Chain A
């Protein structure tokens, strides 16, 4: 009877398309909005990812997320290095500083100061130049997106393309001259500011005069040591907050979830998609069953047991669910791919695909159950009512 179920479904083309479109839209909305939400949340901790190597981040106990910098005393670096289990520890400066561009405009940049000796925490991918070029006088490395975007100069001719920052160009950071010695790739951050790398000592000269300028201490544990255990030791010795990279990411995400309206806004969009799915697809599917109730009654009269009719409805729901889900996820992926070079944060991990599939499956199942109830309650005698 699978053939009959399939032909019943596609035979009513308008309803079939309506159900599939409803599920497609629901799947698209749920997947796309959740992917943007995930992308934004990922951006919130991308700076931690980009630092790469260190096992442990040491910071002021009041720090709530990666951009919430509360400087430490320089001596904290030595105290961290003295903790048993710490292989090495390096300073990191992180701050928002204003850069004066060649055009005279000002642009706030995310300045990262790396340990002068090791340059640990630097970008993994260099497009032009080398990380070691930071040791050259006034050297800075700017990120590629920033170089072509917010840091770029005005067009040479009216209406022409903007002129990107290149190696050899100079900027003024907080009234200090800086020379671009390299272009790098970094992951997009939540605030989407251009990222400028330099050495720790140079960064502290760029930064406004403050008593404390050490933002974080990055530490690596000795081989055989567990980062979580060493982090606890650091906290015990220094009374600072010491988190593994994963814990710091979690702290950052929790902050954004708790103190910004992002989850509510995106959550509402996802819920809206779900409701739209239930309303359009569920209602249309139920109407489809109601329209076919007479045929289900005839099948029942002709000896089709309830189980067979329920399997037919389940098959119909599964088919429209699978098609709607595939189209929706496909459209969401296409949108993500088309906007991959834009500011749009979009990340579609497999877990989101599973969640979206679960939501669509729930919509289909709920619609099918309501329809099944109607069919089970159906008296086959209905077929004799002219």
Chain B
């Protein structure tokens, strides 16, 4: 089976008049959850850009809409209003199947709870996005092994998640997010389950990843100890971006 074609994002971005230095552009993004008795306004007209090659951190109190925003950016949730464009592609304009395919090749995910399959080895877990893309198994495992080497787990290819520490599991998750070479990686609380030292190691790896090939990283975090790794920090409150800064010191209390 042939390897999946790399995403042809730049030409389309240029055609759409999408600034080439941007990875994500959100304009007036509103999200209202209507499942509850009272509608919940999770996002209230968010305007935000994410640049290529930067690590943007979304911070703020619980329930302020951080996770909803990265879900919209990743094409997992539809905004109720507004537009979220990723590499020139308005995700709302895509059908479900096309959006799933777009996520499969353009976006990498790092979850708070790792979400590794416990019965798969580290290398098999890291290979999952490539297997989803129907890459031949042998090639997928070879690329996954290289990705694990990059995050310092080249010696633990055949370990199962249960045999790895929390930090190692998160590094496997990062390898999985990188393995298909996505241009946008969204991370949800990647250090919340880790001790300080391990959290710093994970953030160093993510910062290294962000500097590669103009890749953009959006990291949701509560962990003030890792703010220093961000190129920019967007503080959210009550569904709005209330402040965007380049240094943690500039953040309002």
Which chain A residues have a beta carbon within 8 Å of chain B's beta carbons?
1, 3-4, 7-8, 10-12, 294-295, 297-306, 308, 379-381, 383-386
Choice from A4, A297, A301 contacting B117 with Cβ under 8 Å: A4
Q: Are A384 and B120 in contact (CB under 8 A)?
A: no
Given that A7-B120, A295-B115, A304-B104 are known contacts, is A384 also in contact with B188, CB under 8 Å in the complex?
yes
Closest residue of chain A to B71 (Cβ to Cβ) is A381
Q: Which residue of A lies closest to B115 (CB)?
A: A298
- Cα–Cα, bound, A294→B111 (Å): 11
B101–A299 touching, CB < 8 Å: no
Interface string of B97-128 (1 = CB under 8 A from A): 10011111101010111010111100010001
| B115 engages A4 (CB within 8 Å) | no
Are A295 and B132 in contact, with the CB atoms below 8 A? no
Q: A11-B118, A305-B101, A379-B77 are in contact. List 19 more A-B contacts (CB 8 A).
A: A3-B124, A3-B137, A4-B117, A4-B128, A4-B131, A7-B124, A10-B119, A11-B117, A297-B115, A298-B111, A302-B129, A303-B100, A303-B103, A306-B100, A380-B76, A381-B71, A384-B111, A384-B188, A385-B67
Given A3-B137, A4-B128, are A305 and B117 neighbors across the interface (CB < 8 Å)? Answer: no
Establish whether residues B101 and A381, one from each chain, have CB atoms under 8 Å apart when the complex forms. Answer: no
- In the assembled complex, the Cα of A309 lies from the Cα of B139 at a distance in Å of 22
From B109, B120, B192, A383 is in contact (CB under 8 Å) with B109
**Does B131 lie within 8 Å of A383, measured CB to CB?**
no
Residues of B within 8 A of A (CB): 67, 70-71, 74, 76-77, 97, 100-105, 107, 109, 111-113, 115, 117-120, 124, 128-129, 131-133, 137, 176, 188-189, 192
- Could you list 5 A-B pairs, sorted by A, with CB under 8 Å? A1-B131, A302-B103, A302-B132, A381-B77, A384-B70
Complex Cα–Cα for A380 and B102 (A): 14
Tell me which residues across on chain B come within 8 A of A385, comparing CB atoms: 67
**Chain B hits for A306, CB < 8 A:** 100
Which 3 pairs from chain A and chain B are nearest by CB? A303-B104, A11-B119, A298-B115
| CB-based contact A305/B76 at 8 Å | no
- A212 CB to nearest chain B CB (Å): 76
Q: Are A303 and B137 in contact (CB under 8 A)?
A: no
Q: Which residue of B lies closest to A10 (CB)?
A: B119
Contacts of A298 in B (CB 8 A): 109, 111, 115
A384 CA to B72 CA, complexed, in Å = 12
B117 and A295 contacting across the interface, CB-CB below 8 Å: yes
Alpha-carbon gap, A306 to B70, bound state (A): 22
Question: How distant is B147 from chain A, measured CB to nearest CB, in Å?
Answer: 14
CA distance A306 to B128 in the complex (A): 15
Contact status A383-B115, CB under 8 Å: yes
Give CA–CA (A238, B60) in the complex, Å: 101
By a CB distance below 8 angstroms, the chain B residues around A303 are: 100-105, 107, 129, 132-133
A175 to B100: give the CA distance in the assembly, Å.
90
**Which residue from chain B places its CB closest to the CB of A294 in the assembled complex?**
B115
Which chain B positions have C-beta within 8 A of A308? 132
Q: Is the CB of B117 within 8 A of A8?
A: yes
Q: Within 8 Å CB of B188, what residues of A?
A: 384
Given contacts A3-B137, A381-B76, contact A302 B104 (CB under 8 A): yes
- In the bound assembly, the distance between CA atoms of A380 and B97 in angstroms comes to 13
Query: How far is B131's CA from A386's CA once the two chains are assembled, in angstroms?
Result: 25
The CA-CA distance from A297 to B192 in the complex, in Å, is 21
CA distance A241 to B71 in the complex (A): 80
Residues of B within 8 A of A305 (CB): 97, 100-101
Q: Does B97 contact A384, Cβ atoms closer than 8 Å?
A: no
Cα separation A30 to B102 with both chains bound (whole Å):
48
CB-CB nearest in chain B for A298: B115
The residue of chain B having its C-beta at the shortest distance from the C-beta of A292 within the complex is: B117
Nearest chain-B residue to A380 (Cβ)? B76
